Every structure is written in C-alpha cells, then in structure tokens.
Amino acid sequence: MIIFFDVDGVLINGWHANPSLRKPWDLNIEKDLGVDRGGFQRRFFGIDGFRHLSPMAECASGRRDLKEALRKILPSVGFSGPVDDFVKYWFEKDSLINDDVMKLVRRLADDGEIKLFLATGQEHYRARYLWDDLGFRHHFDGIFYSASIGFSKKERQFFQAINRALDISPDEKPLFFDDQPEIISLANEAGWDGKEFISVEDIQNHRRLVHIWR
C-alpha cells in the first residue's frame, strides 16, 4: 500500500483549509520583526481569488526563487534585515508538528507493506527544511512537492507526475490525506483514494487502515 500525506494542515498545524483550525505562523510577526503582517500577506501570498498570481505561487511552482522574491517585498513591509533571518523565522514558526498524526505515521512506517510519501505544495527551500532539518526524511520514503514537479497541487499534472514517477497502476488507489477538498478531488481524478483531513480520527478510522491499530 502507498500512502501520501500533505504537510501543512495535516502533518503540521499551521495553514488549514478550515479557518477555525488555522495556527498562523506570522501571528506575532509585527512584534517580533516589525513587519506589517497584513501588507506582507497581501503582497506575498496574494488575496482570495488571485493567490495563483502571487509571488508565493510563483515560488511554489518552481518559477521563482523564494529569497529573491522576498528581497523585493520585505523592505516595503518594514523588514530591513537579512532575508535569511526572515526565512529562518518563518520556517521555524511554521513547524508546529501534529504529534498525534506523527504517532500514526510511525506506526504505519513499522508496517513492512506500506510506503509513505509526502505530497505537498512547497518551494525548494522549505521543502529541504521539512525533509532535512525537521526530519521528515526519517519517517517517509520520499517527498513530492510542487516546485520540484513544476505544477501546483491544484493542477492535475501534479498527481499525474507522481503516478509516473512511482509507476502507480490504476488499480492501486494510493491513500491520500489532505485538508483541501478541491485537491482531494483532483487526486481522486488521478486514481487516488483521497480523504479530507480535519482531525487525526480521519486517519485512525479510515476503512483501509483500522486493522493496523488493533
């Protein structure tokens, strides 16, 4: 069996499709770094309906370097320090691991018949941070992320590329946990068995996994 996990909203408590479940990494950014939080969000992440045109979207699809994009925006929102300091702050604050989910991941990793992968929307720097610094490489067999693939998770080519890379057959139906319903729909179109993630019970109670916890 192959199981894919999203990162943000599943393995990490941060951004989530459900606003009531979000734990923003930048909540204290004005106090800590002097950055205009609202201005930074608008200029870097974009606004609803146009986020696909934002600098972050360019970075997450591999078309632009994160640090280069930040250098152009940060001075206008109140940050004059080294961009590496800002990136360090961001990545460390946006690393609140969901311990309950990771306990299940470790159980799944102990099963010799299961392969675990990350399927996530990331730019290159944070993908490396998640894999190496945060240590996901110790628990997963590989990482697939949007900047490396060249398509966002909201494009079906993202999932098609993973199917080709792992030679996933149409009848394999790999499991996939993600917090965004529209992404789940695209994954299912690619032959995956996607499940919207709201809480750890969505993994524990999945019909294809319940036998593992017994």
Domain coordinates in residue numbering, the chain: 2-15+96-213, 26-93
Looking at the predicted structure, is the pLDDT value of residue 50 above 80?
no
Q: With bands split at pLDDT 50, 70 and 90, how would you rate the model's confidence at 165?
A: very high
- What's the mean pLDDT in 63-86? 97
Residue 51 pLDDT? 80
Contacts of 70 (CB under 8 A, 6+ apart): 44, 83, 86, 87
Cα–Cα distance, 31 to 10 (Å, whole number): 28
- Do the Cβ atoms of 10 and 101 come closer than 8 Å? yes
Q: In sequence order, which ranges of the chain are alpha helices (DSSP H)? A: 29-33, 37-40, 55-60, 66-73, 83-93, 99-109, 124-128, 146-149, 156-166, 181-189, 201-204
Give, in words, the CATH class of 2-15+96-213. Answer: alpha beta
Q: With bands split at pLDDT 50, 70 and 90, how would you rate the model's confidence at 103?
A: very high
Is the CA virtual torsion 44, 45, 48, 50 positive or negative?
positive
Tell me the residue length of the chain: 214
**CB-based contacts of 203-211 (< 8 A; 24+ apart in sequence):** 203/101, 203/104, 203/177, 204/104, 206/175, 208/1, 208/175, 209/108, 209/175
Structure tokens given for 144 = 């697939």
- Do the Cβ atoms of 122 and 60 come closer than 8 Å? yes
